[in-house]
Structure 1
Amino acid sequence: MKTSDLRIALFSGNYNYTRDGANQALNRLVGSLLDAGASVRIYSPVVAEPDFEPTGDLVGVPNIPMPVKGRGEYRLPTGLGGKVRRDLARFRPNIVHLSSPDPAGHAALRWAQEHDVPVLASVHTRFETYPRYYNMAFLEPLVVRLLRRFYNRCDALLAPSQSMIDELLAMEMHDDIGLWSRGVDREIFASTRRDRAWRRALGLADDDVAIVFLGRLVMEKGLDIFAETIVQLRRRQVPHRVLVIGDGPARGWFEEALPGGIFVGFKTGAALGQALASGDVFFNPSVTETFGNVTLEAMASGLPVVAAGATGASSLVVDGATGRLVPPGDRGGNAGAYAEALAPYCTDAALRAAHGAAGEARAGEYGWEAINRVVAQTYVRLVEDRRALQQREAQAA
Structure 2
Amino acid sequence: MRMDALPDPAGPSGAPPRPLRIAYVTETWPPEVNGVALSAARFVQGLLQRGHRVQLLRPHQGEGERMANRQEGAGLAGLEEQLVPGCPLPFYPQLRMGWSRAGTLQRQWQQWQPDLVHVATEGPLAWAALRAARRLGLPVTSDFRTNFHAYSRHYRIGWLQGIVLNYLRAFHRRTDGTMVPTDALRRELAAQGFTDLSVVGRGVDTTLFTPQRRSQALRASWGAQPGDPVLLCVGRLAAEKNLLALVSAFRTLQACHPRARLVLVGDGPLREELRVRCPQAVFAGQRSGEDLAAHYASADLFAFPSLTETYGNVTPEAMASGLALVAFDQAAASQLVRHGENGLLVPPGDALAFCRALAELLDHPQRRQAMGRQARESMRNQGWDEVVARFEALLHQVVLRRGANVGNADSALPAAVRSGA
Q: Normalized against structure 1, the TM-score is what?
A: 0.91
Does residue 196 in structure 1 map to residue 204 in structure 2?
no
Does residue 31 in structure 1 map to residue 79 in structure 2?
no
Aligned partner of 1:64 among 80, 87, 90: 87
2:232/2:264 contact within 8 Å kept: yes
Does residue 99 in structure 1 map to residue 120 in structure 2?
yes
Residue in 2 that maps onto 1:327: 347
Does residue 314 in structure 1 map to residue 314 in structure 2?
no
CA distance in structure 2 between the partners assigned to 1:239 and 1:142 by the alignment: 47
1:225/1:334 contact within 8 Å kept: no
Shift of 1:156: 0.8
CA distance in structure 2 between the partners assigned to 1:79 and 1:388 by the alignment: 27
More deviation in 106-115 or 52-61?
52-61
Residue in 2 that maps onto 1:240: 260
Residue in 2 that maps onto 1:120: 141
SS at match of 1:72: strand
Q: Letter of the aligned partner of 2:314 in structure 1?
A: V
Residue in 1 that maps onto 2:323: 303
Aligned partner of 2:368 among 352, 356, 377: 352
Unaligned runs of 5+ in 1: none
Cα deviations by residue, 1:300-341 (Å, 9 ceiling, x for unpaired): 01111111222242112122221111222xxxx233221111
Aligned partner of 2:57 among 19, 40, 43: 43
CA distance in structure 1 between the partners assigned to 2:177 and 2:377 by the alignment: 32
Does residue 361 in structure 1 map to residue 377 in structure 2?
yes
Aligned partner of 2:156 among 135, 140, 165: 135
More deviation in 71-80 or 102-111?
71-80
Unaligned runs of 5+ in 2: 1-9, 11-15, 406-410, 416-421
CA distance in structure 2 between the partners assigned to 1:115 and 1:84 by the alignment: 10
Shift of 1:80: 3.2
CA distance in structure 2 between the partners assigned to 1:288 and 1:320 by the alignment: 23
Residue in 2 that maps onto 1:160: 181
Shift of 1:270: 1.3
Residue in 2 that maps onto 1:77: 98
Shift of 1:88: 2.3
1:215/1:246 contact within 8 Å kept: yes
Shift of 1:342: 0.4
Residue in 2 that maps onto 1:279: 299
- Structure with more contact order per residue of length (Cα contacts < 8 Å, sep ≥ 6): 2
Cα deviations by residue, 1:24-77 (Å, 9 ceiling, x for unpaired): 111121112112221111111112224531642221123222222xx2221122
Residue in 2 that maps onto 1:88: 109
SS at match of 2:93: coil
Cα deviations by residue, 1:119-170 (Å, 9 ceiling, x for unpaired): 1111212122111210122222222221111111111111112222222222
Q: How does 1:202-241 map to 2 (within 5 A)?
A: 202-234=222-254, 240-241=260-261
1:4/1:39 contact within 8 Å kept: no
Q: Normalized against structure 2, the TM-score is what?
A: 0.86
Alpha-carbon distance change, 84 to 50 in structure 1, aligned in 2, over 3 angstroms: farther
The count of corresponding residues between Structure 1 and Structure 2 is 386
Shift of 1:299: 0.4
Residue in 1 that maps onto 2:395: 379
Residue in 2 that maps onto 1:19: 33
